[in-house]
Every structure is written in structure tokens, then in C-alpha cells.
Amino acid sequence: MKQENKEKIAQAEEILERLKEQRGGNVLSIHKKMANDPKLLQAFSQQFAICKQDITHVPAKYMELMLMLMGCCAGNAVTIKTHGELAVKKGATMDEVGEVLRLVFFYYGASAIIPAVELFEELEPEK
């Protein structure tokens, strides 16, 4: 299902451009899908601005690790992948990611971390 109303498409394009700026230059496929309903996309964009944009006391890598953790708890693979990768880009180490996943595992079990372990590469035993 795809939006066909030209006026709504134009509204969505404007909101996507603002969201792209808010997010530091990119939007995800999920944002483009939300754009089929410009009001939904606007609500997301406003919440992003209110809740995430002005985080000043929590270091960026920890904020991303927390968002990855919340994605695990909610079972949202897009959130896990996006924020796990951002955490690493912002300086999180493999050990930090692993510790966060162990905490999730402790409270929510293996099914909550399965999408997150996709962030890791396979280890092959040395011969």
C-alpha cells in the first residue's frame, strides 16, 4: 500500500527532509514507510526532536547502547541493528555490546538477543 495523494506526498517529503537533518543526514526505510501517513511521520519527527535530539548528559555511545537494549526488549530488529551499529560508530567496544546483551539475556532470555547477535561476525575456531 502506497500513498498516492500528491499533496500528502509533498508534505511527507518536507517532513522527511527535516527528519534527515535532525538525524545527522540520513533516514531509514522505516521512516520512508511512515511517510505514507505524513501525520504519523510528523509525530515521529516531533518525538525524536523532543526526546533524543537534546541529550547532553548521557554520552552518545551509551545512549545508543541503551536504545539497542530497548530494541532487544521490544523485539524490534530495526532498532537493534540501527542503534547497535551507531553505538560502535560512536566508540562502543565489543565488550560493552556483549555486556549489554548479557543484561538483556538475564532479564528477557535468548529470544530477545537473537537479532542483536547479528551485529557480531562469526568466529571460526583456529586450526
pLDDT band, residue 125 (cuts 50/70/90): confident
- Per-residue burial over 99-120, b = 16 or more CB atoms within 10 Å of its CB, e = otherwise: ebbeebeeeeeeebbebbeebe
Q: Are 27 and 16 in contact (CB under 8 A)?
A: yes
- 103 contacts: CB under 8 Å, gap ≥ 6: 69
- Asked whether the CA dihedral 88, 54, 37, 24 is positive or negative, the reply is negative
Q: Is the pTM value of this prediction over 0.95?
A: no
Task: State the Rg of the chain over Cα.
Answer: 17
Q: What are phi and psi of 99, to 5 degrees?
A: -65, -40
Whether the predicted pLDDT of 119 surpasses 90? no
pLDDT band, residue 37 (cuts 50/70/90): very high
